[in-house]
Amino acid sequence: MLSLFERRASGSDAHIDIAHAGEVFRVALRRLSTSRRFTLRVRAPTRDVLLTMPQRSSLRAAKEFAERHAAWIGARLARLPRPIAFVAGATTPLRGVDHKIVHRPRQRGVVWTEEGPEGPLICVAGDEAFIARRVADYLKREARRDLEAAVKRHSQHLGVEPRRIVLRDTVSRWGSCSSTGGLNFSWRLILAPPDILDYLAAHEVAHILHMNHSPMFWKVTRRLFPAADRAEAWLRAHGADLHRFGAKAA
């Protein structure tokens, strides 16, 4: 009969809990047939820990490995930038420019931007309890507008037509293209500078022609967006940071 620990660590939401210095860290487990050793990774977007393990390794060995690295886990988690909730007084980027969120309960409307004495503002009307949802909804609408325009422009250039555009809050990738030509994007691209969003639109539109990352794919992508390498470098350096905005502060 499986123990409680073994049942918990063998399900679809497999994880183990590691105690260190008065804290408990939850470590997600992933078995890979191609893995030859244990590896630990702190994931900034989700602010959690992933342990990748060989397919046939025991759960006890995985737990012992994680416990030996508990101090490293704690140090890496502590270094992550703090999450920033969408609340009055907080600052969030919009198209790469920092905007301060201000509450305007007595004004009409829902969410709008304006220039304040100290810089750009995102203004939110209505009850304070709805600020976070209204800011997130506003950013998603702006993301859809910018992405639809960029996708249309790049699609016309290539003579292709995507089936649909879906926005999600993805963690592992900023965009994807299905075999049927459906495009998926992270709404958080609206937080990045406009050229980064434009690059991702070009990247996924190019996938309609080439469902791979072959030299032909990159040739098409760079024809649509010549500064692809610079955009990729920006995403590697700053992309993870975009996931902390709109998160609930601990």
What is the largest distance, in Å, between two alpha-carbon atoms of the chain?
Answer: 67
Residue 115's pLDDT is 97
Give residue limits of the domains in the chain.
Answer: 4-79, 91-244
Structure tokens at 205: 């539109």
How far apart, in whole angstroms, are the C-alpha atoms of residue 113 and residue 245? 18
Per-residue pLDDT in tens (0 to 9) along the chain, 250 residues: 334 444 444 444 588 998 888 889 999 999 999 999 999 998 877 788 999 999 999 999 999 999 999 999 999 888 888 899 999 999 999 999 999 999 999 888 899 999 999 999 999 999 999 999 999 999 999 999 999 999 999 999 999 999 999 999 988 899 999 999 999 999 999 999 999 999 999 999 999 999 999 999 999 999 999 999 999 999 999 998 999 999 754 4
Angle subtended by helix axes 215-224 and 228-238, to nearest 10: 90
In CATH terms, 91-244 corresponds, of 3.40.50.300, 3.90.25.10, 3.30.2010.10, 3.10.520.10, to: 3.30.2010.10
DSSP structural state of residue 84: B
Residue 46's pLDDT is 77
Asked whether 111 and 138 are in contact (CB, 8 A), the reply is yes
49 Cβ contact list (under 8 Å, min separation 6): 25, 26, 27, 28, 40, 41, 42, 43, 66, 73, 77
- The enclosing H or E element of 152 equals helix 131-158
Residue 81's pLDDT is 81
Residue 45's pLDDT is 74
How far apart, in whole angstroms, are the C-alpha atoms of residue 106 and residue 112? 14
